[in-house]
Structures are given as C-alpha cells and as structure tokens.
A and B are shown apart, each in its own frame.
Chain A
Amino acid sequence: MTSIKPELAASYAVGEQHALPVEADQKRELWRFWFLIFVFATLITLVALALFTHQALQLGGTRPVGLPHQAESPRGSIVDRNGALLAADRYFYEISVNPTHLKTDAERRVLADELERLAGIPAVQTLEWLQQYTDRYFLRLAPAVELEVGHRILAEQQKLAQERRIHPLLYLNLTPAPQRYYPEGPLAAHVVGFTALLENAVWRRGVAGVEGYYESFLRQRDGVGLTGNATASWESLPEQVRRYLPSVTGRDLVLTIDRGVQWIAEEELRRALELYQAKAGTILVMDPSTGEVLAMANAPAFDPNRIAEADPAALLNPAVSTQYEPGSVFKIITAAAALDTGVVTPTQKLTDTGAIAVGQRLILNSDRAGYGPVDMSEALARSLNVISAQWALLLGERRFYQYVDRFGFGRVTEIDLAGEIYGAVRKPGHEKWSLSDLGTNSFGQGLAVTPIQMANATAAIANGGKLMRPYVVKARILDGQVQYTEPTVLGVAIQPETAKTLTDILVSVVERGNQAAGVAGYRIAGKSGTAQIPGEQGYEEDDTIVTFVGFAPADDPRFVILVKLERPDPSISRWAGYTAAPTFAQVARRLFQYYNIPPDEIRLGANQSVEQSGI
C-alpha cells in the first residue's frame, strides 16, 4: 500500500462531491511543473551561454596548432654618442611547418608550389624535405625571408581563411625573427662586437665587445634591468641621440664612441699600416677627464655583418685583449713615480754613463751611447734607458711597483668590454722576479700591458693624477628611463702638481725629441716607445712594436691618443719616432679640426672670440 499525503487523501475522499477543486489542483500542479521546467531551462541556457563564451568565443582560429617555437630574442639598439646607429635589429620571417599535418603528397606538392610562387623558395627542395620528414613536428623551410615576402604569404593565408577553404598553405607558420645588422660595417666593430650562434645554443648571443658585455641587458627575453635607482628621464637625452631610439625592445645603449672620431682613427690607422707596412695596429682616443673612450680603432678589423667570412684572429679586440711590452712609453710612469716621491726633481741631473748594471743585467741605451749629466726632460727626450733605470733604483722596488699598481698596470681597467685581460707585471715576491726586472721594467721591458692600460695611465697624468675607469657605454636606456654611466675615479696615481710638472716635461719631449708628433700652434705632451718583441729565442732581431702616447692641448687636455703599430717594415723604419709619432700628429691635427679647437695662441689669447673657416 502506498501512503497518501493527508491533504491529498482528503480531496480524494470528497472527490465526487467536489470535482472542480481537484481539477483546479491538477492545473495548478501542471502550471507549477511548466514553471519549474522554464526556470531550469533558463538556468541551463545561461550556463550554456557562459560556457559558450569560454569555449566558442575564445577559439584561437582555424589554423592547426604546431609545436611552440620561439624565434630569436629581439635585442636593443646601439648608437654612438651623437645618436648614429651602430647596431640594430632587422626583422625577417622564419617559415616553418608541422609536416604531420600534411597527409598526402598532393598537399605537399601544392604547398611547395605555393611557396615557390610567393617566396621564391625552390619547390623541388621544399617537396623533398616535406616528403623526407613526414613524421616530424617541426620543419624549418626558410630561416629568414624578407618582411615583404612574409607579408605576401600572410595576406594569402588571410584570404584563404576568409574564404573558409582548407588549403595546405594554411599549415605554414611564419614567425618574425630579428637579425642583427651593423649599418657602419667594420667601423668600431671591435667596440660594438657581434652576435653568433654558439655551439649547442638555440639562439644567437653577443660574444664580443659591447654586444658581449651587455648581452643580458640588450636581450629582451630574460634580460636584466637597470641597477640602482639613479635614473634620469627620457628627455634628458639630447634630441639627436633619440633619433633611432627607443628600439622595439626599449633596451638600448648609447656609447661614448664618436663616429666621426672613430672614422678619423680608423682612416689614419689604415694609412699608417699602408705607409709603414705594419702588420697590425691600434689607435685609442680617450677623454682624460671622464675616462670616456671616444674611439678604439684596430687593424685588421672585420665586418660584423659578414662574421662568417672574418679571420677568427681578427675578432679579438687587441686594445683590451692583447698585451705587449710597451717599451719607452713606460718611462712616463717611472718618471711620474720619481717626481711624485721627490727622489728626483725636474731639473736634477743624473749622469748617463751609457751603461748600468742592475742585478744580473747590464742595461744600455738604445743607441749604445752615453750622454753625461742630463735632466729629466732630456733623459725622456733622448729616451735614455740608463737614466730610467737610475730613477727606478732611486725609488726602490717597493715604491716603483706601488706606482705601477697605482697607474693600473697588472690588473683590469674595468672597461665595459668583453675579453679584457690583466697584462703581466712581475712584482717582488714573485718566484721569477729579480732585481734586474726593476731595471728593465723601468723602461718598459719585462712587463706586458694592454693598450687601454697604457692610454688610461697617460690619461691619469692629463687628468691631474686621477686614474679614471675607462668606459664605452655612456647611457643605458630601459623603458624610457635613462641611466648614465658616472665617471669613476679608481684612485689618485700622482699629485696634481706632479702631473702638471710631468706634463710640461712631456711637452718638451715632443718639442725636443719627438718633433714628428707635434702639430704647429698646439702644445702637445707625449712620449714614444719602441719595444722589441720577445720570442722563444729571446728578442726578435728587427721586428718592433712602436707606440706613441700623448695628450693635447697640454694646458687643458681634451683627448689622449695612443698609437700602436706592430712590426713596421724595418726598411722603412722600426722606430716609433718615425712611424707612430707622425701618425699621432695626423690624428691630433684632425681632432683639433673636428673639435674646433683653435691654436693655443688664439685660444689662450686675451681676446678669445675667434672666427673660423674650414677649407
């Protein structure tokens, strides 16, 4: 028996007498039923609509989804201090396909033919690959096609999609891929660096120069940000520097390099190499007051746009990555130490006997002659090894090497370029050091320096004794914020008075000993150095490395120039005074013009307003 609810039972009991209430009740029940159906139907519809928004509306498209593939990470641009573009990204399209989506040979053939028609990629080659790799999920058909070609294919795909046609062309994936280019070609190639695909790497990365040193900053994907809080606004950059900035990535570098100065340095270096038949060379131009590198020219150079064709030996930046015995230019350091400690005064005369024994070694002058009593100016002008050794002996090894260290030798200058080396300085306490090293080191033998170390040490003298950290990146830009590189004083090498005295002495060196380095109308301070090249069997007979380092104008140094030439033809000249010194003069002369520096007579005259004319 089934139990009946009391209210229903009551209505049934009086059913015959009260037929109408039962009917009304049934109607009401039915109404309730339909009402509930309506409510639930509404709710289900709404849920379905909500699902629709999640599923139907958010569908990506009709194209087949291949394996995720990331192209090269875009990199920021590099410009010189005046905004000239030195490195930037150019976009190409990488064409790839998932071959498993193409089921028949007919489809593969259609795709190959279409690619040939639209992009000029040989159909035979494409078809061969498609038939060969049918089971692969990713196949790169073209690594880099021009932007215009890519747009043509994309337009065709869009057209087919709109027509709702199933076409093999729709299976193509076009991934925009940036590629690095260097508009100035070999200009400043060693500073800017280049990118390369290293072994086992998926993407290219910066491996030399600024590209290498700032790899993590320049790369958009997984790139690092700015350090510290000292940022400036975007407007703080001069308008001309902003010409090409910001790049797509918003991570850019402004170099201290001046394209014009770099051009002059490279042109003069090429000319010097040709004139003196030298095998290699370096010209460095620095601003002594800040440590900014204005130009860094090396030969042989390379074109970073054609890195595959470059000589691997030329990829190294000799200005920071090669060391050499500096020779007599190092006497500047010995003289600076002697003056600063007061063991020698500028006018004090020491006797040059033509030979001196230091430790187990007999030191001679380069011309094997003796000049009797000479003061510091004459000793440097004649580049006397014997006097230099006497200064070192007067200093003693402790103080001598202390000054070698103060000028930054034997350690990295901390320049922001990849691949910098330390140089080689043997100091007391080293197992191979002996007293004779003190004698030879005093005139730049038996130790090795990099060109940037030598230039930076000379810059310290030009800068009143303050040793600056050399740098090539003036500002880093990230998302509209600019972080300038602050000039950093690494230490005080000598007192300002000593620097001034030494500058006057070096001016007299140019006027009396290295006239070839002079430029009429300007006071230039500098010193030449000719160094023999050490080999396995001792020093090589004829080959030399010649250097001239100096700064100008002497009273208010605007630039330091270092010229280094390797193995000039001995039949032309093996001496720095006849090779590096005239090259220095030529660079200095052009820089005076470039920077519009009037001759001393006019510049330092009572009336400083001048009229100029370039002819």
Chain B
Amino acid sequence: MFEHSTLPSTVSTEISGSLQHTLGRRWVSALQEMLWLPENFQQYLLLLAATLLVGTGMMTQVWLKVQVTEERYLLAKLAAQQQRIERENSEIVFAIANATSLRQIEQAAIAQGYRPVTRRVYVRRDELPTLYSPVASIAPGATEPSPALEDQSMDRNGAEKNRPAVRSSSLEEFIAAVGRGLKAFAEWMSAQAQNISAALHKTLTSKGSSVQ
C-alpha cells in the first residue's frame, strides 16, 4: 500500500510513527510533482511575499466591496429618506394649494367683508394735488358699482348691506377733501420744522458751552 514499506527499516520506522507525517509527505510529494515548491529560504520568502501580495490584493478587494456595499446601503437609505420627504412635501403642497385656491380666497375675502372691485378710477398724475393722496381713493363715482355687480357684491356678503358705503358724488366735496388734506399736511410740516429748528438750536448751544 505505502511506498515506504519497501524502504530501509530505519527510515520506515522513523516515518511510520506518525500518520500525519506520512500524509504530509504524500501531499508534499504530490504537490511537488504538480507545483513548484520552495526549496530554500529565498524561495520561501518569495512565496510568502507572493502570497502576501495576493492576500493583500484580495483583502483590498474585500475592503472595497464592503465600502461600496456600505455606501450603497447609505445611498439607498438616503434615497428612501428623500422619497419620504418628497411625499410629505407633496402633502404640504396639497394643503397649501387647497388653502390658496381661488374659491378658498373668495370665501375668506367674503368672510372678512371684502367685496370685488367693481370700478377703477384713473386720474392723471398732473391733475393730482399731491402724490398718493388718500382722497384719490374716494374720487367721485368711484364707489358706484354697475347695477349688475352691485347686486352680486351685496349678495356675496349680507353684512355689506349694513355697512355705510363711502360716497362722494360732487366735485365740491372732492375739492374740499383735497383742501383739507393739504391743510393737514401743511400743519404737519410746520410742526416738524419747528421741532427740527428747536433740536438744532439746542445742540448748537450745548456744543458752544462745552467749548467755553
């Protein structure tokens, strides 16, 4: 069975003591026949270095794979999170869009007592006594809606019927209002001028005394 049985008795006795040794020898022999095996220290070192190189390469590959897998997992997690946020965002958009739809705005406006603009009055700037005068908004006829719209605006809010409408139908009233506005503005300007002059005087006086 074993080749060693034909060998000299001294050798046979020494190596037959251990089955492991025998198997080892057989494997080594078989491997030696098939593969190149190191014969000396340098060759051992060479094989070890090659093994280490291959091992390091494979370890690097494993490490990279682990990294890629980790990143992929993280990406998947972030993508899921993004999708979740997008879905939640769509829910918010839904709520905002519903709340700001024209029908909702109309209902809210009616509830707050607003009514549609039925007429817009344009006045030339050179004809206006002052810019942005509040009286421009109560120009003659400005608040008189057309009959068709008057009904509509009133129907939209019953409370409007009880609200006294701002009406100014004559040119005299308009001019008087402008006059009142101008007078009030002149008085205000005069008061401001007096205040400034007083403050200036006070400052100059205090500075003069400190110098002395």
Contacts and interface: CB of A to CB of B under 8 A. Distances in A.
B10 A611 contact: no
Contacts of B93: 85, 88, 244
A613 B132 CA distance: 10
Nearest to A263: B102
A233 interface: no
Contact of A53 (B54, B62, B117, B121): B62
Contacts of A47: 58
A33 to B, nearest CB: 4
A32 B38 contact: yes
Interface stretch (A182-190, A383-391, A491-499, A552-560): A182-190
Given A33-B28, A39-B51, A185-B103, A147 B87 contact: yes
B158 interface: no
A213 interface: no
B117 A593 contact: yes
A611 B6 contact: no
Given A248-B90, A593-B117, A50 B102 contact: no
Contacts of B28: 29, 32-33, 36
Interface stretch (A15-23, A367-375, A408-416, A428-436): A15-23
B86 interface: yes
A260 B61 CA distance: 63
A50 B7 contact: no
A49 interface: yes
Interface size class of B (residues with CB under 8 A): 35 or more
Interface string A3-29: 010000000100110010011001001
A416 to B, nearest CB: 23
A184 to B, nearest CB: 5
A26 B47 contact: no
A613 B137 CA distance: 5
Contact of B90 (A19, A46, A91): A91
Contacts of A613: 120-121, 123, 136-137, 139, 142
A605 B127 CA distance: 13
Interface string B112-152: 00000111111111101001100011010011001010001
Interface residues of A, number: 67
Nearest to A150: B87
A383 to B, nearest CB: 25
A91 B84 CA distance: 10
B44 interface: yes
Given A53-B62, A147-B87, 6 more contacts: A2-B3, A30-B24, A52-B62, A263-B102, A609-B124, A615-B142
List 5 tightest A-B contacts by C-beta distance, closest first. A183-B97, A53-B65, A33-B24, A46-B58, A91-B87
Interface of B: 3, 6-8, 10-11, 14-15, 21, 24-25, 27-28, 31, 37-38, 44, 47, 51, 54-55, 58-59, 61-62, 65-66, 69, 83-84, 86-88, 90-91, 93-94, 97-98, 100-103, 117-126, 128, 131-132, 136-137, 139, 142-143, 146, 148, 152
30 contacts: A19-B10, A26-B21, A29-B25, A30-B24, A32-B38, A33-B25, A33-B28, A36-B31, A43-B54, A50-B58, A52-B62, A53-B62, A57-B65, A57-B66, A58-B69, A84-B100, A88-B90, A88-B94, A91-B86, A151-B84, A259-B102, A260-B102, A607-B126, A610-B123, A611-B124, A613-B120, A613-B123, A613-B136, A615-B137, A615-B142
